[in-house]
A and B are shown apart, each in its own frame.
Chain A
């Protein structure tokens, strides 16, 4: 444990009745007590992780010494699958990457294909795409608002999250036919138009969601116990988070004012809309919850704004019957509810992509865990995991 170093300063001796201590015994007094480390395996089946994430945590008492996420339990081989599918088939598959906000996964892929083909979807299609993207953002983050409180022990908010989310899912189902997997985007526009009465229904549902957000503000954000559990827990410094590739609300909660809808390459109709990008200076778990609450409200206001300005017209551009995308490469990234998602599509002129690289948000969000979990208490591990908000399908693809 301790070796006698000839260059070390002379070890002070202690006055002990009966004579001075020998140097070796003296040296051993300066050695720190070495407590044994315990290795704890969180997962892959665990209520705290949203799916099959395994976290190998080394504990010293109640503190975490090191943590290592082990991912891949849900790997479905998406990028390989896309090599052998046509574009409509791939659109169906990529729905299932981030299953809570499926529509938002299709948008960048279809955007990349349209960029390669040089086609622009008509304005009405762009508007409806944006509306559905924001609806899926609400559906995704609203569930987070309820479910993070569940991780911390409050049973009730989770049910409110599910209950109000049903309304949004019913809206998506009325348009697309599928609650979770809309499969609605096509190269050149959308599959179908809105059904009769949908705009009025959506306005009502948005008001309900805004009320629900106020409820969450009282029930969760204002709750002192919640604040005591989440404030100053899991602080991500802004530049460090950016260097790890953390994106979305996680980064905005650390004070970094970056939103692809406003700052990235313009896509969909966001350049024409007015919306606020919410940031919070603290960067702790509370900030991440707070930012997502405000984002939900902002998404509701965006939907209401877009419903006012919805243009009329066709929803599908003129495309050939058999779609063969010309050769080329395209990279499209969008601000998904979980963070920044991007598709890099290489096409060799066939009916399907040659190679698709999927940059998913949660994969990079999870990469910061080894750094973030150092030195936190064991119950705070759950808080941090809950506040980072990843979906396993998004990590593993």
Chain B
């Protein structure tokens, strides 16, 4: 415990370095954990099969082996491609994932930087990946990659709005955009005067939670919104020209972003690292907090992947119609209702 205090008080430079290293290690680790649990094991069991069992006990090392396999593959860049843009595009996608983790708190004092505009920053930074996608599609010098990238960009931009508007309800109820403040509001809040389980916004902002989950599903390009990367369709999407470790970047980006969105949803709606009415002494909450957050985000990720493996995919025009004609009006209505209830109650 004293080591944590030491690290926290050690000085701005060292602290920042430690935090950066932790986050950079966390993203691939999180991607691995999510990939193994949900993609390899949960999907397999939903399909009545076992999944990988050979690499490591029960296949835990399968993704590591896959990663090594990708790294040792030949790095092919198309002749016509714009080489620098081609190389940078996957990095931008991964960088936007890293940046989301700057504001997510994992304990009372465990956060890279506790920004006052935490929510605003997180959502703004998560839309950087759209640029990465467009760069990938354009630089591939492939008609179909470009088509896939344009579809993806249209989808990602369309679903930014429901995502944002769903969170506005949470912000109104919590009264702050600071993520630590939102966690505190949920831990210490009350539902109609009863403070037994605090005020988790998944209950009081139920509509917002559903909207956030649907929009997050689209932002992650998961079925039913995975037309850009449709596997059994004509083209493999904007990633078609990427091989080897560049594809690995996209893969880590996809699951890392799922990790990040799940963490964000857990913080905004399920109460983050806090357990309501429980406060541990001596800074132990800094150790237990991340574990609690991890459990909650695994639950959210379970929901995301459950929907992914069950539903077929929507066609592009249906997808856009769902976003613009259905989700956004509901989100606006939710905001109005929240505002009225906040003022009235």
Q: Measured between C-beta atoms, what is the minimum distance from B170 to chain A in Å?
A: 27
B224 near A225 with CB under 8 A, answer: yes
The majority secondary structure among interface residues of chain B is loop
CB < 8 Å neighbour of B48 from A152, A154, A159:
A159
Total A-B Cβ pairs within 8 A? 72
Q: Is the CB–CB distance between B312 and A149 below 8 Å?
A: yes
Structural contact, A151 and B310, CB atoms closer than 8 A? no
Question: Which one of B72-80, B228-236, B259-267, B328-336 is at the interface?
Answer: B228-236
Residues of A within 8 A of B309 (CB): 154-156
Complex CA–CA separation, A44 to B317 (angstroms): 28
Task: Report the bound CA distance from A160 to B47 in whole Å.
Answer: 7
A-facing mask of B145-160, CB < 8 A → 1, else 0?
A: 0000000000000000
- Residues B232 and A42 in contact, CB atoms below 8 Å apart: no
Q: Which of A13-21, A71-79, A375-383 contacts B (4 or more CB under 8 A)?
A: A375-383
CB B222 to nearest CB in A, in angstroms, measures 10
Contact B234 A152 (CB under 8 A): no
Q: Let me know if A9 is at the binding interface, CB within 8 A.
A: no
**Chain A min CB distance to B323 (Å):** 14
Say which residue of B47, B49, B223, B318 sits within 8 Å of A153 (CB atoms).
B223
Tell me which residues across on chain A come within 8 A of B314, comparing CB atoms: 225, 228-229
Contacts of B317 in A (CB 8 A): 377
A151's nearest neighbour on chain B, judged by CB, is B232
Contact yes or no, A154 B310, CB < 8 A? yes
Determine if B109 is an interface residue (Cβ-Cβ < 8 Å).
no
CA of A377 to CA of B317 in the docked complex: distance in angstroms?
Answer: 10
The answer to whether A47 has its CB under 8 Å from any CB of chain B is: yes
Tell me the chain B residues, 178-234 only, with Cβ under 8 Å from chain A. Answer: 223-224, 226-227, 230-234
For the complex, give the distance between the alpha carbons of A48 and B233 in Å. 7
A225-B311 in contact (CB<8A)? yes
Cα–Cα, bound, A42→B144 (Å): 13
**Total B residues in contact with A, Cβ cutoff 8 Å:** 25
Chain A interface mostly = helix
B43 close to A225 (CB less than 8 A): no
Q: Is A40 an interface residue (CB 8 A)?
A: yes
CB pair A223–B311 under 8 Å, yes or no, is: yes
A228 CB contact (under 8 Å) in B43, B231, B234, B318: B318
Is B233's CB under 8 angstroms from A379's CB?
A: yes
B-facing residues in A149-190 (Cβ within 8 Å): 149-156, 159-160, 163
The answer to whether B234 touches A378, judged by C-beta atoms less than 8 angstroms apart, is: yes
A247 to B231, CA, bound (A): 30
Are B231 and A229 neighbours in the complex by a CB distance under 8 Å?
A: no
CB distance from A43 to the nearest CB of B (A): 10
- In this assembly, does B315 line the interface, its C-beta being within 8 Å of a C-beta of chain A? yes
Is A323 part of the contact surface with B, judged by Cβ < 8 Å? no
A73 and B46 CA atoms in complex are apart in Å by 36
Q: Are A223 and B231 CB-contacts (below 8 A) given A153-B224, A159-B48?
A: no
Cα A219 to Cα B49 in complex, Å, equals 18
Q: Which residue of A lies closest to B223 (CB)?
A: A153
Q: Indicate whether B316 reaches chain A with its CB closer than 8 angstroms.
A: yes
Task: Give the residue name and chain of the A residue nearest to B311 (CB).
Answer: A225
Q: Is A344 an interface residue (CB 8 A)?
A: no
Q: How far is the CA of A223 from the CA of B313 in the complex (A)?
A: 11
Alpha-carbon distance between A380 and B318 when the two chains are bound, in angstroms: 12
State in angstroms the CA–CA spacing of A156 and B46 once bound together.
7
Nearest CB of chain A from residue B35's CB, rounded to whole Å: 15
* A42-B310 CB under 8 A given contacts A156-B46, A228-B318: no
Give the distance to chain B from A134, nearest Cβ to Cβ, in Å: 25
Task: Report how far A149 CA is from B224 CA in the complex, Å.
Answer: 12
Across the interface, do B234 and A154 meet the contact criterion of CB distance under 8 Å?
no
Nearest opposing residue in chain A for B316, CB measure: A379
Distance (Å) between the CB of B142 and the closest chain A CB?
13
Q: Is A226 an interface residue (CB 8 A)?
A: yes
Mask of A43-86 contacts with B, CB within 8 angstroms, 1/0 = 00001100000000000000000000000000000000000000
Cα A226 to Cα B232 in complex, Å, equals: 15
| A159–B232 touching, CB < 8 Å | no
Bound-state Cα–Cα, A151 to B234, Å: 11
Q: Which residues of A contact B313 (CB under 8 A)?
A: 152-154, 225, 229
A382–B313 Cα distance when bound, in Å, is 12
Q: How far is the CA of A104 from the CA of B233 in the complex (A)?
A: 31
On whether A40 and B234 interact (CB within 8 A), knowing A225-B311, A379-B316, A380-B315, the answer reads yes
Least CB distance from A169 to B in Å reads 16
B223, B224, B231, B316: which contacts A47 (Cβ < 8 A)? B231
Identify which of B47, B48, B232 contacts A48 (C-beta below 8 A): B232
Looking at the complex, which one of B43, B315, B316 makes contact with A155 (CB distance below 8 Å)? B43
CA distance A159 to B312 in the complex (A): 14
The CA of A239 and the CA of B233, in the complex, are separated in Å by 31
Task: Give A149 to B309 CA distance when docked, in angstroms.
Answer: 11
Q: Known interface pairs A229-B315, A379-B315. Does A153 touch B46 (Cβ–Cβ under 8 Å)?
A: no
Assess whether B48 is in contact with A229, with CB atoms less than 8 Å apart: no
Q: How far does the Cβ of B181 sit from chain A's closest Cβ, in whole Å? A: 38
A226–B49 CB distance below 8 A: no
Asked if A160 and B226 sit within 8 Å, CB to CB, the answer is no
- Nearest B residue to A227 by beta-carbon distance? B312
Are A150 and B311 touching (Cβ within 8 A)? no
Asked if A379 meets B312 with Cβ closer than 8 Å, knowing A156-B46, A159-B48, A160-B48, the reply is no
Q: What would 27 A/B residue contacts be, using CB atoms closer than 8 Å? A: A40-B234, A47-B231, A47-B232, A48-B232, A153-B223, A153-B226, A153-B230, A154-B309, A154-B310, A154-B312, A155-B43, A155-B47, A155-B223, A156-B46, A156-B47, A156-B309, A156-B310, A159-B47, A223-B311, A225-B224, A225-B314, A229-B313, A229-B318, A378-B234, A379-B315, A379-B316, A382-B234
A sample of 20 more A-B contacts (CB under 8 A), given A154-B312, A379-B233, is A42-B234, A47-B231, A48-B234, A152-B312, A152-B313, A153-B230, A154-B223, A154-B310, A154-B311, A154-B313, A155-B47, A155-B223, A156-B310, A159-B47, A223-B311, A228-B315, A229-B314, A229-B315, A229-B318, A380-B315
Q: Which 8 A-B pairs have the closest CB atoms?
A: A153-B313, A159-B47, A152-B312, A154-B312, A153-B312, A47-B232, A379-B315, A163-B48
